[in-house]
Structure 1
Amino acid sequence: MPASAWWLAALPPLFFSGNFLFARAMRDAIPPFQMSFWRWAVALVILLPFCLPAIRAQWPRIRTNLPFLALLGAVGVTAFNCFVYAALHHTTVVNAALVNSLLPIATFLLAFLILKQKLAPRQILGIAVSLAGAAVVIARGDVTALRSFSPNPGDLLVLAGMSFWALYTVLIRWRPLGLEPMALLGVTVAFGVLFHLPLVAWEYRSLGGFTLDAASAGTILYLAIFPSILAYIFWNRSVAVLGPGRTGMFMHLLPIFSAILATLFLGERLALYHALGFALVVVGIVIVTRPPAAKPA
């Protein structure tokens, strides 16, 4: 297997970690809904030349499925990103990345609730272990105090955002058959940008706008290009070369990259409960996603 394939799989979690880092670092300069809106508006401008030919060619199929595509945009672009950026005003990059690493578990739970997929006892055990890891992080290591503990609202906002992305992951299974990926991406992002508008209007009236300087412009460009476009291109290529199973395991690098970047650039401190929570989440994910042992013939 060429070394370039492993780099392709490692770069998306690095770019996503940068997403957390910039959102946290610029939290006092750019309000969260405006940050999310401009990220995706700029990304849409970059994507449109590549998406428009597919959208025009498949417009009859797109028009028939507009309500579903609008739902994908609302859930996967607007809700997920707005919750995460709002969360990073209240919690650290490390906590956000660790809580977000519950995504595979949330996806399994929603698939059980929506798609009626059965959960084996092994998977229930894995979900419980991962949830215990999240509880350790949210409670900052004092799980005995959970009954009277008031969790950081940022951690809960990350949980909400991650749940919306898990819902998007489940819903995408019903994407219109035959719809080209670039057409799907372009229309979904366009709806996501559109649904940002009332949130941005409310936020602007409440908090005002932001100053467009080198730091804010650089942040928007990074968010629009790296975690929004390049990460998905590299991820899809990695899936084609390494397969979905191997590629998916690289997402465990997200909290590791996030912890390194946050420690180096934001001065965040790692605690023992971060390591314990991460270990429990990863063990739970491995238990849930590992295929059952083959029955002897």
Structure 2
Amino acid sequence: MRIDLHTHSNVSDGTEAPGAVMASAAAAGLDAVALTDHDSTAGWGEAAEAARFLGLTFVPGMEVSCRTDNGISVHVLSYLHDPAHPGLLAEIAKSRSARVSRAERMVERLAEDYPISWADVQEQVAPGATIGRPHIADALVAAGVVPSRSAAFAGILTGRSRYFVAHYAPDPAHAVRLIRDAGGVPVFAHPEASARGRVVGEQTYLEMIDAGLAGLEIEHRDNPEDGRTYLRRLAAEHSLLVTGSSDYHGTGKPNLLGENTTSAKVLERIAELGTGTPVVRP
């Protein structure tokens, strides 16, 4: 089986609708795919229906945005959790609200120097989608300020930019506990992606493991090889699952479906551990 456990639709910052992501996955020769939109499960229904039609195994998921006490961004993939779990829902709602106010403040700063408005950004957001910096990037592309999302993130929207505004996000260990409480399977997404910014030290890994972390996303284009070596050692020492994924965003990123994959054995273990919602089989 060819299994990709990290994709995004236009419910968050991907460019394709959830059903279209499933169609792209089928066209790429995948057998199983997870939809892991940022802080949202709104695409699950459409994706599951499309996956059944296409003969794909669908893994319901979500990517939870977190932040350490010293300001390092951490993303935790949650597989098979209960989407109605009150504790996780409340935390996600808090993060989503903070994203909106943060985006508004960033646009206010950008508007002082570039031809961009809040209305321009809203035009880039699908109904009900989790708003974020990628939508601001899309508005900057539409205005002709930058040629692509990647260019926007490399310059104007980097975390070191004067336009950047931080937003609330839960502590990663707390997020892991909430995911477990909701019957989900927490996996640390692209943990050594140093090109994206600062990465956590071993203490944060240990705190997340103590809280119930189930796995590490090791095979990911943003983890450098020395980081992958470190992660493989950590996974072996703590009996963590090892996953590989594309982090597909449609045309929003160069990542290609299936460029990294997860073993069928690991997917079956995730299916066994997840008690909040089931894997959708064809």
* Same fold? TM cut 0.5: no
TM normalised by structure 2 equals: 0.29
Relative contact order, higher structure (CA 8 A, sep 6+): 1
Greater Rg, structure 1 or structure 2? 1
Tell me which protein shows more helix as a share of its residues: 1
TM normalised by structure 1 equals: 0.28
Tell me which protein shows more strand as a share of its residues: 2
